[in-house]
Chain A
Amino acid sequence: MRCTALATCAALALGTLGGAYAQDEPGRHWDGSHATPLHRLPVMDEENQKILPTYRDAMPISMRNTCGPCHNYETVSSGLHFNASQPGSDPGRAGEPWIWLDEQLGTQLPLSYRGWTGTWNPDDIGLTPWRFTQLFGRHLPGGDVAEPEDILADPNSRWDVSGVVEVNCMGCHNAAPDQDLSEWAKQIARENFRWAGTAASGLGRVGGMASRLPDFWNVHAGPNPDDAEYAVPPSVNYSATHFDDKGLAVFDISYKPLDKNCLQCHSASPVEARRWELDADVHTAAGMQCADCHRNGLDHNMVRGYETEAAERRDPSVSEFSCKGCHLGFPELENQSLMAAMGGRLGAPRPEHKGIPTVHFDKMSCTSCHSGPWPEDLPGLVRTSRANRLGIHGVAQWHTDEPRIAEPVFMKAEDGLLTPYRMMWPAFWARVEGETVTPVLPDDVAAAAAGILDAPQQIGAVLASMNTGLAAYAEIYPDDPGAEAVFLTPGKIYHLNIDGGLDVAPYSGDLPVPAGGRWAKEQDGQVVSLVNDFDADDEQLVLQEEERIFNVLDAIVTTVEWLAPYADPRGEPVASLGNKIFRRSADGYFEMTERTDGIVTDTFAWGWFNDGEIAPLVPEFMVRAIADTEGVAESINEEQMARVIAALSENARGQGDTSAEFAYLSSGKLFRLDASGAVIASDHKSAEPYAWALGHNVRPAAQSLGSRACTDCHAEDAPFYFGTIEPQGPLKTAAASIIPVHDLHGGDDDIYIQTSRFFKWLIIITMALLLIHIAGDLTRRALNKRAGRT
């Protein structure tokens, strides 16, 4: 591999072109045919044994041993998609990171092994290759960290059970319609790493889950004779239709990866966009494929296509596949390649840019005017395959709204050109030491955040219990129409949704709702009290209400274990009204006792009874939290954040670390607690947004910036200069500062604002003074005339 690289460099030093596209394995030169040869091959497993489709519980296909004999596996696996963690690999221009997302814990951490500024190296924050593969394997092409050389290096990993994820050649080159990213993601989620390629390619169906197998299981152990339902080892049933009579598989291989395969991992769509409204990139609309520009040789060192790539790779041939390379050419390369000098590759039209001052081409990238969505006052939000888990389909939706990524954001790139970017704001819990922040591992955050960040789940759990109680009651009184428990806060109503969370809607009904919220039921479209009105002083309750209260309490008691992970029961569930407490006795009967704390209430309430006191079913801060965050993009309020920071500190102190300070970073700010426990927000390098240049979708010239008039950009209300960017993050906070777009252009654009202000006031003040002078002169003349004076 190293020899290949050296040879490539030497060839480039001699000024040869096309080196990147002629690096076939020695002895296997391309014969010149443009046809893709039929791939009728023996399917080999990881032990390099031939697989026959008739085998029961057969091993999965090994790409290394099936494709490798003709296409050197080591060479391929040094390519762009497989070399992120390899020492000495070219990081290239900062690209889209892997974003470690935990919605409940409010974590959105940009990760990359390439060392791009603003990303975190997974190794540095304790994220092992095993965990990384579990998290991101759904969109990984295999190889690299997913295929470690030493599978025993990490004692907490289960590579021995799951197998490694080899480079998934079929993921890109399979032209058959049954290549399935969803199946791939499902197998990765089941820790069926070595089986994922087989299942995703449609070559066979994979059953079983490695994730349910004990650590000591390995692929040679075979089926589990003791468990045919749960801990079933993965196995493959090959599809006989893919094999011929000699047991050779016929692969439908495309030399150039088809767009449908690229887009599995490289899609991006505006949030809320309707599919039929969207245009493709103008190049693909014209019939081009991704691989027409994003080319590579056997080394899979794919052309990314940005303008400085050729210089970075010291490979002038790469320049032909940038915007300028194709559309304008590089006359300065005439001595090396006439074609490169001329441009116009694949019929690329030569733009006239009539009437546009040429300074634009010195100061701006092509993509500024031609790529991404048209700029709006506020950049739009976009979802991408890898960040938001797009393209994985099934009964359950896999995609996420988080992280929220803004585009287009115009910033000055490293090459000094104004360039459109996508931008996301890191959000994570961190240990603070001086100016250094280090992300806290999710397990530690989860331990500290238990009972704090799970407000929707806690309230959802109580609603589920109440629904169980109401259902039990309905079995006794079938004439009483069924009802659904709901929770109310001032102006809002919350229903339990199918995921155990809450759906929020506006509420403007007549039922009084205290600030601390109220449990109620929805019946026939009406929101009414969970229990009908009755007089607490009555010695005997109406039997129906007694049954209703009893069944709800009974349901809460019987589901208390299920509630436990979400809510600290803090005693015995009771209801109360006036000075009465209604409870379910230990032997399962309804009991009514008098309160001993002297409190008399005039509204019916539910709570936990402990030591003679009644506490609400869910803490009041959780009620405030859902009122703040349900139905909006943010998921954490500042009160929750302060509690988690305090809990992290408390846990650290419990482990003897008394000096540890913790913070939360979100929406471009670092939040910490002062000595009094108040939240203070400040700027911090690690809270700054991470941005990566966007290349697609390319718009046609008629829809590019400046096509209407200069004022597309050069106007006082043009979003290109005077739009704003609203930091996005899980935290609901007023501390996040709106960023004026011109602040990111790299110049001191405040001078524009100040100058504009100066001239506006100059006009107003000057004209006001002149008009006053005129008015004074006219008045005096009129008075003089009336007085008969000149």
Chain B
Amino acid sequence: MEPPQKSSEKKDWYQRFSLQSRIQHMLLGGSVTALILTGVPLWCLARPEYMWWTQNSMQDHGFIELVRIIHKVASVIMIIVCVYHLLYLAFSREGRREFIEFLPWPKDFVDVAQNCLYFVGIRKERPRFGRYTYYEKFDYWAVYWGSVIMIGSGLTLWYTDISLKYLPWFTYDLAALVHADEAILATLAICVWHFYNVHYNPARFPGTLLWWHGKMSLEELKEDHPLEYEEVMRKQQSEEQEKKD
């Protein structure tokens, strides 16, 4: 799993994600983890029928305020990452390139159909994926959807007096509902879907350090992203050819 250090084996590894991307992912992952861990007890606080311990354990020890503070700090980090990511997409070449790669193309819909046919045995081969598979794109765009909802509803709940000065009275309860429901969806999607694709998946279990060093073996790249692999190979060959020339 570790990238090899010997210079002779360096060619077997491909630097797939930049430091920029990895830091954004780590901050996002860390803040979302903190938000989930602090959000669950906050949600359960008035629902002792779900988690009886949340009432006493948090209120008696004055712990609730600390949990709220952590939740708010984590949410600020998440907001900063999201804003930074938009700036990164807009103002860096790498960001613009990645954004285009993440855009859904007709091929992605074809890939969905072909992959389903592959699952049921009608098709013998998996579809040939490019830099991002359709399910990775789904992960990416789900964060947009979730962030907009969670940040919007969260700020409404955080700054009630300001938000309800301009919004209908009922917005507060709507925001609380949406915040909780979207949090449940996001948590399930991350823990089930995202973690399956990067951890529980038998081909990857128990996971790689791709999120840390950003490198993927060429073998894995060839297996999971053959079109990107071919592109990388083509580029390497042309570079080597240029060197020879």
Contacts and interface: CB of A to CB of B under 8 A. Distances in A.
Interface stretch (B31-39, B89-97, B113-121): B113-121
28 contacts: A357-B160, A357-B172, A358-B161, A359-B164, A359-B165, A359-B169, A359-B172, A362-B164, A709-B46, A711-B46, A711-B47, A714-B172, A714-B176, A721-B173, A752-B170, A755-B174, A755-B177, A756-B177, A759-B185, A763-B181, A766-B189, A767-B185, A773-B119, A777-B201, A778-B202, A781-B202, A781-B203, A790-B223
Interface string A710-753: 11001110000100000000000000000000000101110110
Contact of A357 (B47, B118, B164): B164
Interface string B117-128: 011110000000
Nearest to B202: A781
Contact of A714 (B120, B173, B193, B202): B173
B164 A747 contact: no
Contacts of B185: 759, 762-763, 766-767
B196 interface: yes
Contacts of B160: 357, 359
Contacts of B201: 777
A416 to B, nearest CB: 10
A240 interface: no
Interface string A244-272: 00000000000000000000000000000
Contact of B119 (A745, A760, A779, A790): A779
A363 B173 contact: no
A565 interface: no
Interface residues of A, number: 40
Contacts of A357: 160-161, 164, 172
Interface string B151-171: 000000000110011001110
A762 to B, nearest CB: 6
Given A357-B160, A710-B46, 12 more contacts: A363-B164, A363-B169, A708-B46, A709-B46, A745-B170, A747-B170, A755-B178, A759-B178, A766-B185, A773-B119, A774-B192, A777-B119
Interface string B44-58: 011100000000000
A505 interface: no
Report, nearest first, the 8 A-B pairs whose CB atoms are least far apart.
A776-B119, A759-B181, A711-B46, A357-B160, A359-B164, A709-B46, A770-B193, A747-B170
A748 to B, nearest CB: 8
Interface in B75-129: 115-116, 118-121
A363 B121 CA distance: 61
A772 to B, nearest CB: 9
A771 interface: yes
Nearest to B45: A709
Given A359-B160, A711-B46, A749-B170, A776 B116 contact: yes
Nearest to B162: A359
Contacts of B223: 790
B184 interface: yes
A778 B196 CA distance: 10
B135 interface: yes
Contacts of B46: 708-711, 715
Interface string B192-212: 110010000111000000000
A353 interface: no
Interface string B6-33: 0000000000000000000000000000
Contact of A780 (B119, B168, B184): B119
A783 interface: yes
Contacts of B173: 714, 721, 752
A752 B177 contact: yes
A778 B164 CA distance: 48
B228 interface: no
A767 B170 contact: no
Contacts of A774: 192-193, 196
Nearest to B59: A709
B188 interface: yes
Contacts of B181: 756, 759-760, 762-763
A456 to B, nearest CB: 46
A780 B123 CA distance: 11
Q: Is the interface of B mostly helix, strand, loop or mixed?
A: helix
Contact of A359 (B161, B177, B188, B193): B161
A780 B170 contact: no
Nearest to A718: B173
A359 B196 CA distance: 44
A752 B172 CA distance: 10
B169 A767 contact: no
Contacts of B184: 763
A622 to B, nearest CB: 49
B140 to A, nearest CB: 15
B118 to A, nearest CB: 6
Given A749-B170, A767-B189, A716 B177 contact: yes
B35 to A, nearest CB: 17
A780 B118 contact: yes
Nearest to A773: B135
B240 to A, nearest CB: 29
A394 B119 CA distance: 85
Contacts of A418: 169
Interface in A100-126: none
B48 to A, nearest CB: 10
Contact of A747 (B161, B168, B177, B193): B168
Nearest to A747: B170
A760 B182 CA distance: 9
Nearest to A775: B119
A749 B174 CA distance: 9
A746 to B, nearest CB: 8
A774 B169 CA distance: 42
A748 B172 CA distance: 13
Nearest to A758: B181
A763 B193 contact: no
Nearest to A363: B169
A391 B172 CA distance: 44
B195 to A, nearest CB: 10
A756 B179 CA distance: 11
A762 B188 CA distance: 12
A715 B173 CA distance: 8
Contacts of B135: 773
A752 B119 contact: no
Max chain B C-beta neighbours (<10 A), residue from A357, A363, A771, A778: A357
A779 B181 CA distance: 30
Contacts of B118: 780
A359 B172 CA distance: 10
A541 B165 CA distance: 89
A767 B185 CA distance: 8
A496 B119 CA distance: 77
Nearest to A753: B177
A412 to B, nearest CB: 9
A482 B182 CA distance: 74
Max chain B C-beta neighbours (<10 A), residue from A359, A751, A756: A359
Contacts of A363: 164, 169
Contact of A759 (B119, B120, B170, B177): B177
B46 to A, nearest CB: 4
A774 B173 CA distance: 35
A777 B196 CA distance: 10
A343 B105 CA distance: 67
A418 B170 CA distance: 12
Contacts of B174: 751-752, 755
Contacts of B47: 711
Given A721-B173, A755-B178, A763 B116 contact: no
Nearest to A412: B169
A506 B197 CA distance: 65
A308 B233 CA distance: 79
Contacts of B168: 747
Contacts of A714: 172-173, 176
A587 B115 CA distance: 102
Nearest to A760: B181
Contact of B189 (A708, A721, A770): A770
